[in-house]
């Protein structure tokens, strides 16, 4: 089971603006990149993560103190 990895992905989604933007734009590509980088997520976890409501993730991110946020210094530019 890779529950710690699921928790890391969710934590990163709410604290890393650039990662969150990429995830919202294409969750499956972002998940594949995570797995290719060594993040152990089973198929059920991948499916559950890909189905996260982007608005709910944004609300959670907006509720977190900015001092622990990683800001997208590229402003969404690729």
pTM exceeding 0.85: no
**Is the model's pLDDT at 78 over the cut of 50?**
no
DSSP 68: G
The per-residue pLDDT of the chain, averaged, comes to 89
Mean pLDDT, residues 59-68: 87
Q: How far apart are CA 5 and CA 26, in angstroms?
A: 19
Burial bucket for residue 76 (CB in 10 Å: 0-12, 13-18, 19+): exposed
**Is the model's pLDDT at 64 over the cut of 90?**
no
Residue reference for tokens 């998940």: 31
Mean pLDDT, residues 9-15: 95
- In this predicted structure, what is the pLDDT of residue 2? 79
3-state secondary structure of 16: strand
Q: How far apart are CA 56 and CA 11, in angstroms?
A: 13
Mean pLDDT, residues 59-77: 77
């Amino acid at each position: 089971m890779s529950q710690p990895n699921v928790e890391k992905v969710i934590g990163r989604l709410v604290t890393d603006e650039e990662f969150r933007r990429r995830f919202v734009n294409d969750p499956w590509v972002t998940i594949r990149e995570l797995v290719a980088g060594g993040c152990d997520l089973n198929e059920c976890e991948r499916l559950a993560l890909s189905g996260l409501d982007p608005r709910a993730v944004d609300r959670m991110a907006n509720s977190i103190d900015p001092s622990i946020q990683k800001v997208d210094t590229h402003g969404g530019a690729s």
